Structure 1
Amino acid sequence: MEGIRLKCSLDEKQIADRLRYNPEILEIQLFAEDLNHPERLIQTTRQLKQKGIRVYLHHPMIYRGRFLDIISSDRWMREYYDWSCQTLAQICKQEDILCVVHPHYSESECSFFHDSRLRKKVRQRIEQILARGGEYFLWENTVKGIFSQQNPHFFTELIEPLNLPICMDISHAFIAHQGSNQKLQQTLEQAGPYAVYYHVVDSMGETHDSLPLGQGRIDWQMVKPYLQGREYIFEIGLADHRDCRAMIESAGYLKKIEERAINL
């Protein structure tokens, strides 16, 4: 089936499971320890590319048990953020691939989007990363805080002035908009010139639930045209990370929507 675009870690059994479905795209979720042995990541990337698979990386989410935050008051956290981004930028340049990066997650110092000083600080920190090889990064929106659609200045202060390439997580935007498909459509329209890549995943619009397509409240008939000709993966929550059938079923769901549109 066409449109098989999946996610996994560097775990060999996860990769073997994904390869059973001949994916077009594979996004590799990295963990902090993976960057201590970059040769394994490079070798895996090359093996996948030899199979004709387009590879994306995803920056580690957690360091020392805490979610990363680009403006963390913890010096070790900031230094790790910078070091890990620099390491990944070098790998991406060498292997000609891109990496998804979160400026922050929902519960962090970036959560307070009303504070203009913090918003300015986030922009300055992103500019620093961009100056150190950040052209290989796609910046992902989250569900709450400065780098989310909850922030009314998201586009005007960050995306547009920096001409920032983004990974648009559709469910994150839907949750930030409190389950409004109308506001989600407005965001997808506004993000169009900057969205290089998408995370396709359903949600009820209340919490970070990572549902298979069709099990949430997102209007995929509305969303589908925005994905046309774009790169994306199905980032579905899995009960067993070595069994990606929920992602495959979501690909089938999206395919049926496309076929239905053609037959109308």
Structure 2
Amino acid sequence: MLPSLGLKGSSSMTQINDRLAYHPNTYEFFTQASDFTSAGFLHLKKAVAYVKQAGVAHIVLHHPMQFHGFHTELVAPADRYPDLYQFVEESSKMLIQLAKEQDVQCLIHGSYAHETQQFIDCYSSLAAARHAAFDRMDRFAKLGGDHVMFENSISPIFAYGDPEVESQILRHHYRLAFDTSHCFIYLHGNNKGLQASLLHLQPLIVHYHLVDSMGKVHDSLPLGQGKIDWRAVLKCLNPQATSIYEINLQDNNHCVEQVESHRYLQRLCKGN
């Protein structure tokens, strides 16, 4: 199954118009902390409306990754990191509300993998830290309903690839975003494990980040430049889900590497 074209960019009109020139089926907004000031959020709202009016069928609002030097970890406890906790709380609610108003999607990371251990150490155990993160996701899931999804990480808080953690995730009935590179890296480059995870979670996956990797570090490679077996991955995707190519770009104003990744899959499918 060839996924339809999905591209990612910011609320910058330069980036938006660059992506729209390729007529994507999905546009994912990369947001940052500055988008959550009064002026910034108004600009974001107008950008979402602009993309909708351009005829893009599916829009995803990616929760900001960082705030004041920290990644926006759901597991960060309120008593130790009050400013970070409050920003994650308010920005998530704002995005969910915007997603509801515009009938689009909000994507929140279940975890990241940078300062995560620092936050885990605030709890009595990894299980306790994961429980805190899941409690927070439960609240956001209830608030967002069919307008919110949660993305996997390389950290043990919310990693796909561990069948036990996946079973716990399935019990919560979360709507899931699946980043292929994150799972592949968590599994140390195990393609069979990646395929098993894609199939195990498939019923709840509503969105994919299609990204290649060498399976060692977070490298965000164009498809075909890493070690992921894309021919096998294509057979494991939920055909009802949306997707984007979340590739590192040489120039953020030009999505060349994202489009080349889509063309790679087109060639792969023609070769079947």
Other-structure match for 2:181: 171
CA deviation string 1:202-223 (max 9, x = no partner): 0000000000010000000001
Percent identity at matched positions? 32
Q: CA deviation at 1:77?
A: 1.0
Gaps spanning 5+ residues in structure 2: where?
none
Q: CA deviation at 1:187?
A: 0.3
Larger relative contact order (C-alpha < 8 A, sep ≥ 6)? 2
CA contact (8 A) 1:17 1:243 kept: yes
Whether 2:26 is the aligned partner of 1:34: answer no
The alignment yields a C-alpha RMSD, in angstroms, of 1.9
CA contact (8 A) 1:31 1:62 kept: yes
Whether 2:252 is the aligned partner of 1:244: answer no
Other-structure match for 1:61: 65
Gaps spanning 5+ residues in structure 1: where?
none
Report matched runs for 1:175-254 at 5 Å: 175-227=185-237, 228-254=239-265
- Paired AA for residue 197 in structure 1: H
Other-structure match for 1:161: 171
CA deviation string 1:128-153 (max 9, x = no partner): 22233354211000112210136553
Give TM-score scaled by structure 2 length: 0.90
Other-structure match for 1:21: 22
Question: 1:14 & 1:111 partners in 2: Cα distance?
Answer: 36
Question: 2:153 & 2:135 partners in 1: Cα distance?
Answer: 19
Deviates more, 1:177-186 or 1:48-57: 48-57
Q: CA deviation at 1:103?
A: 2.3
CA deviation string 1:197-250 (max 9, x = no partner): 000010000000000010000000001123344310011111110111111110
Other-structure match for 1:11: 12
Whether 2:149 is the aligned partner of 1:138: answer yes
| Number of residue pairs the alignment of both structures matches | 259
CA contact (8 A) 2:213 2:227 kept: yes
> Relative to structure 1, is the Cα distance of residues 111 and 248 closer, same or farther in structure 2, using a 3 angstrom cutoff?
farther
- Equivalent residue of 1:133, what SS? helix
Question: 1:135 & 1:82 partners in 2: Cα distance?
Answer: 19
CA contact (8 A) 2:126 2:157 kept: no
Whether 2:262 is the aligned partner of 1:258: answer no
Question: 1:8 & 1:243 partners in 2: Cα distance?
Answer: 9
